[in-house]
Amino acid sequence: MSKKICIVGRGPSWTRIKEIPDDYDILMFINNPSEKIFDDPEILDLVKSKEVVIFSNMPQRTIAFSERMLNTLNVKKCVVSRLSPDWELWHEHKSKQKRSCPAWKQLSHLPPLEEDEPYLYIWRGPAGTNLEKMYTPGGRLIEHMPDETEKYLCSIYGDKMICGCSIYASLYAIIKLKVEHIYYCGVDFYHDLKISKRSFVESPTYYSGQDWWDLRVKTEGEHLKILYDKYMPQFFKNVVFEFYTDANYNPTSKTVISHPSGKEVMYKHYGNDYYVA
């Protein structure tokens, strides 16, 4: 039987964890797990029955590894979306980064985004922050991603695709944990975010307000759909990616399965307190 894992994002479909077949042993939470798991006895019992990995991006690592989660759940690993540090390599590529429009690979159905361009080896820095030894506020060791993931990240960033935290988490699960089937819930591709009509007439300038922020977040979500449908199945032909999502996601790859909830979309904005790159 193939080794399976369930990756739980921060999108509204995270509660669909109850619908996922209970044939996996490991749960991986992206950034800080929702405190609402303590309000649902069924979900809490399910989570407590699994080995837990908490996977954080760099900006949120100080809050993702909360002592309540670490002490309540069966947390086996705390992992950050960075490879072991190489500050010189990071600085070499960071110093060449440019701001442009479009900065990321342009998608025909979205306005162009003015942003800082993706650059290689972002995952080896930043200097002074990505350290050889890092610890949670409670003193647990934080693990880096394996070096074997680097070639896949280079392929993604080299195409100017933006890489969300769930891709890093998936690479870790496949390379380090040797899983062959990944269930997802809470990965909704920011489906409930609508781009302002103004942005299609004139693309907002860098960090100019909510219109720009919405376009940035939406672009990342749309890139994420492509990464799961095109890149990940090419990288890992024998891995199944199965989504329980609120998004109307219709992948074409045979190894990418989607179970949209069909819920009515309630559109909203995402603020900086929710979304951290």
Measured torsion, CA atoms of residues 266, 69, 153, 237, in degrees rounded to the nearest 10: -80
Single pTM value for the model: 0.95
Looking at this protein, which amino acid is placed at residue 205? Answer: T
> What tens-digit pLDDT sequence spans the chain (277 residues)?
679 999 999 999 999 999 999 999 999 999 878 888 999 999 999 999 999 999 999 766 677 788 888 999 999 999 999 999 999 999 999 999 999 999 999 999 999 999 999 999 999 999 999 999 999 988 999 999 999 999 999 999 999 999 999 999 999 999 999 999 999 999 999 999 999 999 999 999 999 999 999 999 999 999 999 999 999 999 999 999 999 999 999 999 999 999 999 998 888 887 764 433 3
| Residue 102 φ/ψ, nearest 5 degrees | -80, 140
For the chain, list the domains and their CATH numbers. Answer: 4-84+131-192+217-260 (3.90.1480.10)
Edge-to-edge strand list for the sheet holding 75-83: 134-135, 141-145, 75-83, 51-56, 26-30, 4-8, 181-185, 240-245, 256-260
Q: Across-strand partners of 184?
A: 7, 243
